[in-house]
Each structure stands twice: as structure tokens, then as C-alpha cells.
Amino acid sequence: MGPNPPRGHPSGFDRRVDPRRSRRENRAVARGDDYRVSFLIAGTQRGGTTTLVEYLLQHPDVFIPKKKELHFFDTEKLWQAGTPDYARYRRDFADAPAGRLLGDATPIYMYWEPALPRIRDYNPAMKFVILLRNPITRAYSHWNHERLAGREKLSFREALAAEPERTRLAAPRQLRHSSYVDRGIYTRQLERLWAFFPSAQTLVLRTDDFSRALAPMFDRIASFLGIARFSPVLEIAAHAHAYESPLAAEERRYLEDIFEPEIRALERLLGWDCSDWLASRSGG
């Protein structure tokens, strides 16, 4: 038998007891269990990912840490010296019962460009569950979230106008917090994801399906992840913050002008009908 792979490598472990691991994880490693994360809920921010996690936590074969958004693959300081020790990442899954499918819900992964090659190097077989929300309402929800967090002082319209200059100042990195429009350019993000992973390893869903097609949605997720079909027992309310005011009609029309070409491109890419996302233009 050849030597064990290095401890920092995701596909193999030093079989000796490591004090940084829990006793359960050390026992699993000694047996040769693979503690790699198998799937990511990788987007989009303000797209219903928290609700999806709470539904999936009801499945007996799935383990997602209580701490949502681990940010392992997008935290730049972890990667400054090259590939970090994956033991840090595994510690977040140390309480997982044996045999569970491990998942990480960090919605920025689809958007944050350096994250994808890092994820590929960690697990080339990684599966991605992607939730896409109407980019118009997503942008407003994102801005509202940043306002409540105290990171955004501008009005919504001012913040939209400021985004190009903020993007320029953030270069070569992306905007982490105020990318209200840029995060809604889904086609670019999906095409980049598929440049690193086969499309068969991605499942792209609509946030709207929580309210109109919940059972078929979870059938698709179960089939994609290779777990038993299930119907969530507890109904989860959508996680929504209070708004200072509803999205104004003028602001909606402004965003429709920005996003209509992107929405039409997404329809062609995924074979979707997103006409309801352009409600004022379709007479809705």
C-alpha cells in the first residue's frame, strides 16, 4: 500500500489522530471515510437559500452546519499563502453523523470568481444547487439587507448609480457588499460555473418555486443529490426583512431597462419563461 496522501489534501487524510479534529472525525478518518463536502448551495444571495437550507435540514440523510455561510472558498486571507489546510473546513462538519451527505450553503460562491477553481481543486465532483430570483426584486432586497446591516448609506437609486464607480475602485476584486446589479447577471455566472464543472453537476431552480411548486422542486433536489425523496414536514416561512418602503414603480422600470436583455438571455440559456419577472412590461 502506498503512503497516505498529505493531510491538507481533500481527497486523503493522515490516519493518525489529529487534535484539531473531533473524536468522531478522527474515528471516521481512521476508517477511511471521505469527509469532503458533496454539494453547495452556491447562489444567489437574497434568493431563498436560507429557506432552502431549513427545508433540507429536515432530511435524515443530509448534514448542513448550523452556521450558514461558511465562506471558506471566498475568504481571500485564507488563500493568500496558497491552498489552506482543509482541516479548518472539515471542523465545521465534525458533528455530522456517519453516512450523511455534507453540504455548505454560501450563496456568494457562484458570484465570487476565485472561489470556483478552489472548489474544483477541493472536489471536482462537487454538485451545485442554485436558486435564481427575479434580479429586479433581488437587487432591491440586497440593498435593503445592506441598509439594515449599516453598510449602505445611499438611497436605492443612488446606490445603483454608484455601483459602476464602486466596482472600478474595488478592482481587481469584485464588490462584496454593494453589487446590486452585477449579482443579477446570472448568465455570466452560470457560464463561468460551467467552465469549471459539467452542467450535469448543477441544478438551477427558481426561487418562485417555493410558493408554486414546492413538492416537484424537492423531488428534483432529491434526485439530483442522490438522496431519498421526501416531503418536508414543517413549512418554512420565507426569510424576509422589513422594507423601508416598497420598490417604487419608477425604480422597477429603471431596473427592467437594465435587466431585460439579461432576463431574455437567461430564458434562452435555461429554456425558462421569465415574463413574470418583467411584470410592468407584460401587463402584469
pLDDT the model gives residue 210: 85
Cα 41-130-228 angle, rounded to 5 deg: 70
pLDDT digits (tens, 9 = 90+) for 45-63: 999 999 999 999 999 999 9
pLDDT the model gives residue 236: 64
- Complete DSSP assignment for the chain: -PPPPPTTSTT----S--TTS-HHHHHHHHHT------EEEEE-TTSSHHHHHHHHTTSTTEE--SS----TTT-GGGGTTSSPPTHHHHHTTTTPPTTPEEEEE-GGGGT-TTHHHHHHHH-TT-EEEEEE--HHHHHHHHHHHHHHTT---S-HHHHHHHHHHHHHHHTTSPPSS--TTGGG-HHHHHHHHHHHS-GGGEEEEETTHHHH-HHHHHHHHHHHHT------SSPPPP-----SSPPPHHHHHHHHHHHHHHHHHHHHHHT---GGGGTTTTT-
Whether residue 217 is contained in a domain is answered as: yes
C-alpha cell at position 126: 462537487
Please state which of the ranges 6-10, 153-157, 250-254 shows the lowest mean pLDDT.
6-10
Which CATH number covers residue 102? 3.40.50.300
Q: Which domain holds residue 203?
A: 23-278
Whether residue 45 is contained in a domain is answered as: yes
| Model confidence at 4: pLDDT above 50 | no
Whether residue 234 is contained in a domain is answered as: yes
Whether residue 284 is contained in a domain is answered as: no
Q: Using CB atoms within 10 A of its CB, is residue 165 exposed (0-12), middle (13-18) or buried (19+)?
A: exposed
C-alpha cell at position 127: 454538485
Whether residue 43 is contained in a domain is answered as: yes
pLDDT digits (tens, 9 = 90+) for 55-90: 999 999 999 998 889 999 999 999 999 999 899 999
Counted domains in the chain:
1
pLDDT digits (tens, 9 = 90+) for 98-148: 899 999 999 999 999 999 999 999 999 999 999 999 999 999 999 999 999
pLDDT digits (tens, 9 = 90+) for 223-270: 999 999 987 766 665 656 778 889 999 999 999 999 999 999 999 999
Whether residue 87 is contained in a domain is answered as: yes
Whether residue 2 is contained in a domain is answered as: no
Whether residue 235 is contained in a domain is answered as: yes
pLDDT the model gives residue 67: 87
| Model confidence at 1: pLDDT above 80 | no
